[in-house]
Amino acid sequence: MNLTENIYKLKGKIMHYAWGGDAFIPEFLGIDNPEHQPFAEYWMGAHPLASSELYTIEGQVSLYKLIKEDPSLMISESVFTRFGELPYLLKVQDVKDILSIQVHPSKTEAEKGFDREEAAGIPIDAPYRNYKDRNHKPEMLVALSDFWLLHGFRQKAAIEKVLEETPEFTILAPLFKREGLQSLFQFVMEMEQPEVNAILINLVKREIRKKNDGELTKEMPGWWVAKLFEGKDEIGNIDRAVFSIYLFNIVNLDPGQGLFQGAGIPHAYMQGQCVELMANSDNVLRAGLTPKHIDVPELIKHTHFESIVPAVMTGEDVLPGEKIYSCPVPDFGIAKIDLTAELGYSNTAVSLEIMVVTSGGALVNNRLVLKRGEAFAVLPGAGYTIQASGTCTLFKAFVPVV
Ligand SMILES: [Zn+2]
The rounded Å distance from CA 100 to ligand 1 centre is: 9
Residue 380: inside a domain: yes
Where does the pLDDT of residue 142 fall: very low under 50, low under 70, confident under 90, or very high at 90 and above? Answer: very high
The predicted model gives 196-218 an average pLDDT of 97
Q: Report the 3 state secondary structure along the chain.
A: CCCCCCEEEEECEEECCCCEECCHHHHHHCCCCCCCCCECEEEEECCCCCCCEEEECCEEEEHHHHHHHCHHHHHCHHHHHHHCCCCEEEEEEEECCCCCCEECCCHHHHHHHHHHHHHCCCCCCCCCCCCCCCCCCCEEEEECCCEEEEEEECCHHHHHHHHHHCHHHHHHHHHHHHHCHHHHHHHHHHCCHHHHHHHHHHHHHHHHHHHHCCCCCCCCHHHHHHHHCCCCCCCCCCCCHHHHHHHEEEEEECCCCEEEECCCCCEEEEEEEEEEEEECCCCCEECCCCCCCCCHHHHHHHCCCCECCCCCECCEEEECCEEEECCCCCCCEEEEEEECCCCCEEEECCCCEEEEEEECEEEECCCEEEECCCEEEECCCCEEEEEECCCEEEEEEECCCC
Residue 41: its pLDDT value, please?
97
Residue 229: pLDDT above 80? yes
**CATH classification at residue 360:** 2.60.120.10
Distance from the alpha carbon of residue 155 to the mean position of ligand 1, in angstroms: 21
- Is residue 382 in a domain? yes
9, part of any domain: no
Lowest mean per-residue pLDDT among 84-93, 106-115, 321-330, 340-349: 106-115
Q: Is 351 a domain residue? A: yes
**Is a pLDDT exceeding 90 seen at residue 284?**
no
Q: What is the mean pLDDT of the chain?
A: 94
User: Catalytic positions, please?
Assistant: 286
Q: In which band, very low, low, confident or very high, does the pLDDT at 286 lie, cut at 50, 70 and 90?
A: confident
Q: Which domain holds residue 329?
A: 316-398
In a domain, 197, yes or no: no
- The answer on pLDDT for 2 being more than 80 is no
Q: Please report the pLDDT score of residue 356 as a whole number.
A: 98
165 alpha carbon – ligand 1 mean position (Å): 30
- pLDDT of 204 over the 80 cut: yes
At residue 283, the pLDDT reads: 84
364 part of a folded domain: yes
Ligand 1 center from residue 352 Cα (angstroms): 24
Number of domains in the chain: 1
pTM: 0.95
